[in-house]
């Protein structure tokens, strides 16, 4: 189960300069990866707008692909 306070985008950091509300925050992506990704998984991000998912995968030593 996902916690609502982890899904709240207010007062979170952004991974790029554009203020677009649809962008995933690094905190949100980190939480999703911690909750669902395993060390040998490949995380697919076909839309990769601001590349937040790929950046967070790299920080966690996970394989991320476009």
Domain annotation covers residue 18:
no
What mean pLDDT do residues 17-28 have?
Answer: 74
Is 45 or 6 the better-scoring residue by pLDDT? 45
Domain annotation covers residue 55:
yes
pLDDT value at residue 57: 97
CB 39 within 8 A of CB 62: yes
Domain annotation covers residue 15:
no
| Helix axis angle, 52-59 to 26-36, nearest 10° | 60
Domain annotation covers residue 48:
yes
Residue 43 belongs to domain spanning: 24-66
Confidence of residue 3 (pLDDT cuts 50, 70, 90): confident
Domain annotation covers residue 16:
no
Domain annotation covers residue 61:
yes
59 sits in which H/E element:
helix 52-59
Q: Please tell me the total count of domains within the chain.
A: 1
In three-state secondary structure terms, 25 is: coil
């Amino acid at each position: 189960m996902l916690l609502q306070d982890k899904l709240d985008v207010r007062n979170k950091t952004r991974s790029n300069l554009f203020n677009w509300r649809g962008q995933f925050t690094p905190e949100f992506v980190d939480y999703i990866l911690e909750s669902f990704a395993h060390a040998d998984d490949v995380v697919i991000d076909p839309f990769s707008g601001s590349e937040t998912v790929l950046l967070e995968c790299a920080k966690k030593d996970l394989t991320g692909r476009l």
